[in-house]
Amino acid sequence: MRVGTRLRGLRIGLRFKIGMTIAATAAVSATLTGTFVPGIVQGDRRDSVLAEYQEAARHYRASEGQVTAGLEVDPVKVPEDLRRAVGPGGARSVTYLEADASGTTVWAAGLGEEGQLLAFRRHFPQTLFEDLEHATRSAAVVGALGASIVGLGLAAAMVRRLRRSTRQADRIKDGELDARLPERGRDEIAQLSAAVNAMAQALAARIEAERAVTANIAHELRTPIAGLLTASSLLPGDDRPAEMVRERAVRLRDLMEDVLEVARIDNGGERAEPREVELAALARRVVAGVRADRPQAAVAVEVIHGTVRETDPRRLDRVLTNLVTNALRHGAEPVLVEVDGPELRVRDHGPGFPPELIVHGPQRFRTGGNGGLGLGLAIATGQAGVIGARLSWHNPPEGGAVVTITLPRTPADEASQTVRGDAPFQ
């Protein structure tokens, strides 16, 4: 792999970007300072020497040939470029720089009234110019380092605020609607935090209102559905119409109970009642109950590693029953329940889970390709959260769909017994 490819894959943080931007800006400023300051100094030297020359030349003309200190008349050692510049037809007064190992000589020259060459020069030692350059570079380097340190400090403070806000936003995304972002300061980050908090508050109020409406509707329907169920049981005969009425009444009651259970989970009123449970026996009991309702269903239990765990058996039974029922309803037979230590897997041979379910998990009141409101999987997820279990969803390469229930570790795990080699339940 080439270095360029590796660098493109690196994650560059905001702090690094801000620090590098400030450091680069300071470095560019130092470079420009080191480039232009010497030129400005040389320009000042030219102007200073030219002013001295003009004053001396004016005195020379006014005194009718009296030479002041520093003014030379027709000097022998004059740079040829300077002599040509002030020759006949040249400029009235010019400056010229002559550099050698000892330093820089600045010349200023012009023509007198009788055509003689008037010259003035000043010598500036090389050490002065070197000291100036060194001081300029040193100041630029110190300024760049100081700006980089200050910039990194400011960037670090900004990144810490953003990270705290990100953690709180992740909590809101995971369903903790009472989490809020810190709103310190009056800058753009504080304004963004305030906007997100207002959004979270409005979202929480809306979700709470929807939950209350759903629970109230379910409670209001309890009495008429109970009456409908009683009336359907009194229908005479066992013909198909009477059987359909009884089936629909039972289905309506089950749906109402599911809605109420979802509301209880959402309100946080559910509490686990843990005790030691043999997972293999619980899985067989769940499959036996499913078979009682679906005698022809091809569903079995395979115990890879049986174990005793401390959990709430009623809620784990509910989770596993919903997953098996969902696999039979929306997947394809045969359905296999695997017990592998603290993990229980429900495997079917259907078309697999939709991609959005694998990414986001079950979404209630979302109708899938085979119909349904998604309450069964939502209840399974909620009840798993009550007992501290984790559900994971994936489609294996060989086809079908697999849901894995991973139970949390408890103090009783050290005393759990392991049973191996149990044959599949037939």
In this structure, the strands spanning 117-125 and 275-278 are: unpaired
Torsion angle in degrees (nearest 10) through CA of 261, 263, 268, 274: 0
Place of tokens 């079908």: 400
In 3D space, the residue among 43, 49, 47, 41 whose CA is nearest the CA of residue 130 turns out to be: 41
Which range is most confident: 13-22, 41-50, 304-313? 304-313
**Which residues fall within 8 angstroms of residue 331, CB to CB, at 6 or more apart?**
348, 349, 350, 351, 400, 401
Angle at 144 between CA 140 and CA 148, to 5 degrees: 170
Nearest CA to 412 out of 293, 307, 281, 264 is that of: 307
Report the mean per-residue pLDDT for the chain: 77
Q: What is the pTM of this model?
A: 0.50
Angle between helices 188-233 and 240-266 (to 10 degrees): 150
Q: What is the pLDDT of residue 419?
A: 43
**Cβ atoms 327, 349 nearer than 8 A:** no
Unique residue bearing structure tokens 């009788």:
114
C-alpha–C-alpha distance, residues 407 and 75, integer Å: 103
Average pLDDT over residues 31-56: 77
In tens, the pLDDT along 218-263 reads 677 777 877 877 887 777 777 777 778 777 777 777 666 766 666 6
| Comparison of pLDDT for 214 and 163, the residue scoring more | 163
Task: Assess whether pLDDT exceeds 70 at residue 3.
Answer: no
Q: Which residue has the higher pLDDT, 226 or 126?
A: 226
Residue 132 has what pLDDT? 67
Is the omega angle on the peptide bond into residue 355 within 30 degrees of 0, that is, cis?
A: no
Instruction: Specify whether the CB–CB gap between 321 and 292 falls below 8 A.
Output: no
Listed in sequence order, the DSSP H helices in 309-350 are 313-330
Q: The tokens of 146 are what?
A: 């100081």
Task: Give the model's confidence band at 394: pLDDT under 50 very low, under 70 low, under 90 confident, else very high.
Answer: very high
CA distance 373 to 369: 11
Q: What is the pLDDT of residues 338-390, one digit of tens each?
A: 999 999 999 999 888 888 888 877 876 554 445 455 677 888 888 888 888 99
pLDDT at residue 266, as a whole number: 66
Q: List the one residue out of 364, 175, 135, 399 whose CA is nearest residue 268.
A: 175
Interatomic CA distance for residues 385 and 381, integer angstroms? 6
Structural domains of the chain in order of their starting residue, each with its CATH number: 3-147 (no CATH), 188-266 (1.10.287.130), 275-420 (3.30.565.10)
For 24, the token pair is: 């680069």
Tell which wins on pLDDT, 241 or 91: 241
Run of H or E residues at 292: helix 279-293
* CA distances in angstroms from 69 to 55, 115, 120, 180, listed in the order given: 11, 21, 9, 81
Range in 249-258, 325-334, 413-422 the model is least confident about: 413-422
- Residue 238, φ and ψ in degrees, nearest 5: -120, 30
Provide the pLDDT confidence category of residue 12 given band limits of 50, 70 and 90.
low
Q: Which of 159, 145, 188 is nearest to 22 (CA)?
A: 145
pLDDT of residue 39 exceeding 50, the answer is yes
pLDDT digits (tens, 9 = 90+) for 158-211: 778 888 888 888 887 776 777 887 777 777 778 888 888 888 888 878 777 776
CA distances 91 to 79, 83, 85, Å, are 16, 11, 7
Confidence check: pLDDT of 424 > 60: no
What pLDDT score does 404 carry? 94
Which of 257, 369, 275, 276 is CA-nearest to residue 322?
A: 257
Where b means 16+ CB within 10 Å and e means fewer, 228-239 reads beeebeeeeeee
Alpha helix positions (H), 63-187: 80-85, 126-173
Q: For 94-98, 101-105, 260-264, 409-413, which range has the lowest pLDDT when averaged over its residues?
A: 409-413
- Asked if residue 159 lies in contact with residue 14, where contact means CB atoms within 8 angstroms, the answer is yes
